[in-house]
Chains A and B, each alone.
Chain A
Amino acid sequence: MFITALKEAIFIGIPALLLFGPVTGLILNGYEIIVDWQRPILLTLVVMVGRFLVSLGSSTEKGKHILESFSRKRSANVSVSTTQTTLPPLAIAGILCVAALLPFFLGNYWLNVLILALIYVLLGLGLNIVVGLAGLLDLGFVAFYAVGAYGFALGHEYLGLGFWTAIPFGAGLAACFGAVLGFPVLRMHGDYLAIVTLGFGEIIRLVLNNWMSFTGGPNGVSAPLPTFFGMEFTSRAKQGGVPYHEVLGPIIGIDYSRSARYIFVYLILLIVVSLMVIFVVRLKNMPIGRAWEALREDEIACRSLGINHVTVKLSAFSMGAMVGGIGGVFFAASQGFVNPTSFTFFESALILAIVVLGGLGSTIGVITAAVLLTILPELLRDFSDYRVLIFGLAMVMMMVWRPRGLLKIRRPAFKLGRSA
């Protein structure tokens, strides 16, 4: 056992030395080369010891067991259950209560992080419809996010829309853009579709960036802060309403606080997210949701069953875009300002990562992944240099060991009577 491990270590040491020798042993200093033998030898030793330990470990019983568990063919990570796939109602109520009370104990910074997390939940839910349910790989989802955000900001500037009218407006606008994107890509699958949506995302961003006279270009546009029945959440009214502390102050005796506007946005967002979760979960069990999943499984079979794949695809694109658009409106409302740098490809990739990590098609998974992926980076501020690196590593490991997402996918079971 030792002998074979030693042999393997030496075998691996030779190429390691050859590789490390020139790369780390020859140091260019001005015009001369300094030969440093210590570094390659040290690195080679590290590699050899590592290999020795690995081969020693893998020959023990426990090591064999671990190796086997990695290489085992994983059966589909899907189960069918008769119980409801959602959490018990009490747990949901508890989570909602905690979530609703949370902002009163947090500072503005963490409040903003939470708002962002909820926005990502919305985006994840939207993209989950397109990628997870309908199986249409969309790399440009950020376009709909941008349409929603700019829909609010520009709608306010040119049409005088308020926050509340902007939500349906932004949602509708994004849905229209979704349908517009849907048309050219109807006949595409997989890779081709991904590239076209990628292009679409970039087009939207570039238009926003370069159409100076309309969108303000890189300078961005400011969006108004949300109001509630004429109440404004600033110390002085700017939009013709009344500051909230002047209305509520005499009644319940509260003073102006800077976090009030964040708390307000957070609470509204929480309600909207809850409604959207219900919406998406219900959609999944409706004929339209089943048609989306069927389309993901087999488009040709779908056509053979009389399902118009064109309208099914369009509906998936526009429903997904709609949810993303609402996320955009909230983004603009919470930031008070939008500009094109918020809508880069990295953003699309992040949303896609949320959907993939959460497990394609799983609503609870997507919510968890969205919250984790926004809060973890904030917790790990100290490691901010390595954030993307760790993120990438996590993705690679996920794809190797849990390609179907963190949570097990459940399918609803149906009760069928036996009697004729």
Chain B
Amino acid sequence: MLTVSELSMRFGGIQALKDVHFSVPEQSITALIGPNGAGKTTVFNCVTGFYRATSGTIRLAATEGGHYDLIKILGTPFQSSDLLNPTAFAHRLYYKLFGGSHQVTRRGVARTFQNVRLFREMTVVENLLVAQHQQLNRNVLAGLFNAKSYLTSEKRALEKARRWLNAFDLLDDANRLAGELPYGHQRRLEIARAMCTDPRIICLDEPAAGLNPNETDELNGLIRMLRDQHGVTVLLIEHDMSLVMDISDHVVVLDHGEVIASGDPWEIQNNPTVLEAYLGVEEESGETE
């Protein structure tokens, strides 16, 4: 589904990621774990198009076969070889002008944020409607004159919003302001909103942060539901090890910007390198978080 290879990211003199490579199988739940500062969020930002990786490739399998190159979409610098190849030049120019993280989302990669980013002064329903922007009839004239196509598209959007609110048990909050909701609901709303973009892979950045054990359990169920009922591939960053070990099919461990281990949860738990990264080498006391 998603293949990341030789991904490197450099911020000035700091090498945040070095030759990161992993792949996310279709319809799986893959967890990205690692100590603080290991570069997990950087990987996320590269995958979802918020950073342009310094080198490497990120490929997303397209539904009709073939791959999308998620780095090219962001717009890459012109190269001298483009002068000889007008089509490559045109492609590059197009992505330079219109490319960006929104294009990545349109290819089917949705994400949530570590610190919840909702449209706080809009209602819950409006949050979900904004997420469906791409699928709506955006013609200003059609909207002004209440054209039939516009009305049906609005109606469909509302119906879809209702479905997702129902799935995430937020129907009672539908007409409240997003910023007023309790924190746990805001987290769920953010996932619901990301799902409204019709993603094939959803990247959750610490979805359980700040949730109490009950809410974490609910989240556990919701993430499974996304995969089992909606066929979405899930990639998540999480510090809550019990959650990670419980739901993920596949775990990738990052440390200091490098992948130090990957495999199924059981393997990871018993992997000496991972234990070392988390607990330290000698008898120093460390935190497992």
Whole-angstrom CA separation of A302 from B123 in the bound complex: 15
Q: Report if A291-B177 is in contact (Cβ < 8 Å); known contacts: A297-B121, A306-B102, A417-B162.
A: no
**Interface segment out of the listed A19-27, A152-160, A281-289, A347-355:** A281-289
Q: Does A416 contact B (CB under 8 A)?
A: yes
Question: Looking at the complex, which one of A76, A78, A306, A417 makes contact with B133 (CB distance below 8 Å)?
Answer: A306
Pairwise interchain contact A416-B48, C-beta atoms closer than 8 A: no
Whole-angstrom CA separation of A303 from B113 in the bound complex: 12
B229 to chain A, nearest CB (A): 13
- Residues of A283-333 whose CB lies within 8 A of B: 283, 286-288, 290-291, 293-294, 297-298, 300-310
Chain A window 381-420, contacts with chain B (Cβ cutoff 8 Å), 1 for yes, 0 for no: 0000000000000000000000000000001111011101
Whole-angstrom CA separation of A301 from B101 in the bound complex: 10
Q: Does A80 contact B (CB under 8 A)?
A: yes
Pairwise interchain contact B102-A309, C-beta atoms closer than 8 A: yes
Q: Which residues of A contact B103 (CB under 8 A)?
A: 306
Q: Does B242 contact A (CB under 8 A)?
A: no
Pairwise interchain contact B102-A290, C-beta atoms closer than 8 A: no
Count of interface residues, chain A, beta-carbon cutoff 8 Å: 35
Q: Which residues of A contact B111 (CB under 8 A)?
A: 304
Q: Report if A304-B100 is in contact (Cβ < 8 Å); known contacts: A287-B143, A290-B133, A413-B175.
A: no
Q: Does B238 contact A (CB under 8 A)?
A: no
B53 to chain A, nearest CB (A): 17
Q: Does A82 contact B (CB under 8 A)?
A: yes
- Residues of B109-164 whose CB lies within 8 A of A: 110-113, 117-123, 125-126, 129-131, 133-134, 136-138, 140, 143-144, 150, 158-159, 161-162
A303's nearest neighbour on chain B, judged by CB, is B101
Pairwise interchain contact B140-A283, C-beta atoms closer than 8 A: yes
Whole-angstrom CA separation of A76 from B171 in the bound complex: 22
A404's nearest neighbour on chain B, judged by CB, is B121
Q: Which residues of B contact A302 (CB under 8 A)?
A: 102, 130
Q: Report if A416-B162 is in contact (Cβ < 8 Å); known contacts: A288-B138, A298-B118, A305-B105.
A: yes
Pairwise interchain contact A80-B102, C-beta atoms closer than 8 A: no
A258 to chain B, nearest CB (A): 38
A322 to chain B, nearest CB (A): 11
A311's nearest neighbour on chain B, judged by CB, is B98
Q: Does A164 contact B (CB under 8 A)?
A: no
Pairwise interchain contact B174-A416, C-beta atoms closer than 8 A: yes
Pairwise interchain contact A76-B102, C-beta atoms closer than 8 A: no
B240 to chain A, nearest CB (A): 23
Q: Does A2 contact B (CB under 8 A)?
A: no
Q: Does A279 contact B (CB under 8 A)?
A: yes
Whole-angstrom CA separation of A310 from B161 in the bound complex: 26
Q: Does B166 contact A (CB under 8 A)?
A: yes
Q: Which residues of B contact A412 (CB under 8 A)?
A: 123
A307's nearest neighbour on chain B, judged by CB, is B133
Chain B window 84-113, contacts with chain A (Cβ cutoff 8 Å), 1 for yes, 0 for no: 000000000000001011110110001111
Q: Report if A82-B122 is in contact (Cβ < 8 Å); known contacts: A304-B48, A308-B102.
A: no
Pairwise interchain contact A301-B121, C-beta atoms closer than 8 A: no
Q: Report if A304-B113 is in contact (Cβ < 8 Å); known contacts: A78-B121, A290-B129, A294-B122.
A: yes
Pairwise interchain contact B137-A287, C-beta atoms closer than 8 A: yes
Pairwise interchain contact A305-B175, C-beta atoms closer than 8 A: no
> Which of A80, A310, A413 gathers most chain B CB within 10 Å?
A80
Chain A window 260-280, contacts with chain B (Cβ cutoff 8 Å), 1 for yes, 0 for no: 000000000000000000010
- Residues of B43-84 whose CB lies within 8 A of A: 48, 50
B161's nearest neighbour on chain A, judged by CB, is A416
Whole-angstrom CA separation of A413 from B171 in the bound complex: 13
Interface residues of A (CB under 8 A from B): 76, 78, 80, 82, 279, 282-283, 286-288, 290-291, 293-294, 297-298, 300-310, 411-414, 416-418, 420
Q: Which 8 A-B pairs have the closest CB atoms?
A: A306-B105, A297-B119, A286-B143, A413-B175, A301-B117, A294-B130, A416-B162, A287-B136
The 26 sampled A-B contact pairs (Cβ below 8 Å) are A76-B121, A80-B123, A80-B176, A283-B143, A288-B138, A288-B143, A293-B126, A294-B119, A297-B121, A298-B117, A300-B50, A300-B113, A301-B117, A304-B111, A304-B112, A304-B113, A304-B194, A305-B110, A305-B130, A305-B194, A307-B133, A308-B98, A411-B177, A412-B123, A413-B123, A413-B125
Q: A307-B134, A411-B121 are in contact. List 6 more A-B contacts (CB 8 A).
A: A76-B121, A288-B140, A293-B119, A305-B110, A306-B103, A414-B123
Interface residues of B (CB under 8 A from A): 48, 50, 98, 100-103, 105-106, 110-113, 117-123, 125-126, 129-131, 133-134, 136-138, 140, 143-144, 150, 158-159, 161-162, 165-166, 171, 174-177, 179-180, 193-194, 196-197
